[in-house]
Structure 1
Amino acid sequence: MTTATRPTGYAGTLALTALTPIVWGSTYAVTTEFLPPDRPLFTALMRALPAGLVLLALTRVLPRGIWLGRAAVLGVLNIGAFFPLLFLAAYRLPGGVAGVLGAVAPMIALGFAAVLLAEAPTRRKVIAGVIGVFGVALVVLRGNAELDTIGVVAGLAGAASMSAGTVLTKKWGRPDGVGPLAMTGWQLTAGGLFILPLALVLEGAPPALDGAAIGGYLYLGIIGTALAYWLWFRGISRVPATSVAFLGLLSPMSAAVIGWIALGQALTPLQIIGLVIALAGTVLGQLPPKPAPVVAEPFSPKEIDDVALVAPIEVAVLTAPEAVSVAEAARR
């Protein structure tokens, strides 16, 4: 989609969609400050299932036919698998390595878009992806960062899951008459139902919750999930999937800024440089490809003959008497 053909409000849609990863960046601060520790699956469940059920009650639209399967697949990719893998990587990878692995998502999305949407990755977007990963690495990595095999696999798998879900959401679109709010409810509910047995088996009964934890879960469920994913899926339906994927680079940047403002975490000059570089990668990922030059097709022999016949004819502006004379001469 070139600049000339983009609909009015495209920039506004991108700006609203960008609010989603910015809000997601607050998840780390809310989790560490308000929620019970060591309960990633329960936290993922509380983010997804209640919000999904509320949206189903509000929209009163359920998937039917082929969309029963599609909603389940999208719910698992975007929510059910992504949330647990995200938390697993965060718990096992200190020093921001999980954030760097998450920043690889736009590059993975380029691959999925090439296969599923026949969108060939442009050189500009590949460069933007590399710049984004490098910038995020400067923001979140520390010198004592350690690698954990399970954590690395979980981080990459989570990025791949979300990327595949984003591209498939674009490929499948929505059924006629179904809005993004209903689609959000379908996916959150499907993802929450996928997480529910995992949370019960692996973590047991829910923990006791105080007022701070309840407030934290309400924030994550309403703002960080229901509203954020509605904006996300709305954006996917209106702009290229790869452009939306590049907005995900804003999440680790948002987390760093929130940690600096709300938690008193210092930002080093290197991190500030990383923020600028990652932001440049995000912006570069939104730029449309250069329009292909228009190449004139060669004339066929028949067209050349036609041109030769009409070339000597000159068109002149005639006065009324001259026009009459020409018409009479033509009749003779």
Structure 2
Amino acid sequence: MAEGNHSEVMEFVLLRFTNLPGLLFVIFLLIYVTTLVGNLGMIILIRTDSQLRVPLYFLLSNLSFLDIYYSSSVTPKLLSGLLAERNIISFNGCIAQFYFFAVIGTTEAILLAVMGYDHYMAICEPLHFLSVMSPRVCVQLEAGSCIAGTLNALVHTGTLFQLSFCGPNVVHHFYCEIPPLLLLSCSDTRVNEMLMVASIGFIITTSALAIFVSYACILLTIWNLHTVEGGHKAFSTCISHLMAVALFYGSAAFLYLHPLSNHSEDQGKMASIFYAVVTPMLNPFIYSLRNKEVKNALRRAMKKFLF
């Protein structure tokens, strides 16, 4: 078979969890159902409650939408693999899974930075907030995040198609991710590795820097507030976002910025489970439990439903 964008491997075997697959199936199924219910509930709550029709919650509803697709790109295949004797995925299906996972992951990373800027404008520049963070601007920021995510995924997917996979075809992971795929290639993957570290490092560094600058300004503003209640309200609004940022960026940095030669399979799988499966489930709870406006909206919705 010719070299280049062809491959002798027509399918991959995803490594399944061999220890207690039945119990793990129940656990991951509960996590997936909780993810769907929690994020879908957050979207419905934000879209139906008039008091939540502000830029922050528009972005939060989009984050919940991304988390649903983020988890759905990985978890169903993980669940089916726990029930099957061999967890097989076609070559094109594997690349497609990676592509959609990369699109959503990059979009969410940028969206978290946009949400940090939204917090900055709301707390530090309240008089200009509505004019700067208008609905049109929010839609443009969301669209820009999606475009950036799509371009980043296209670059990595295109370079993957240039590699040759001659065997073995066992991916030491529970879904198609670029580090374990590069280890299976019989081509020179140095360009792919440098591109992965450079692009992920750039996205995480610039997004984290934007969030850091936003929150540095926010802390200065809170410090200068004359009322303890006002400072506490502003800080409680931000703490949930900081928790989501720490979970997402921390696990992503460990997974992608780790040298492939030193990449522990067990550590990589644990980081991936947290990054791709657990974090999308936790986000709606983090924002609802730490946010009084969301909790009040939930109470209003429950009252309407019950009475």
Q: Same fold (TM over 0.5)?
A: no
Q: Could you say which structure has the larger radius of gyration? A: 1
Higher relative contact order (CA 8 A, sep 6+): 1
The normalised TM-score by structure 1 is: 0.27
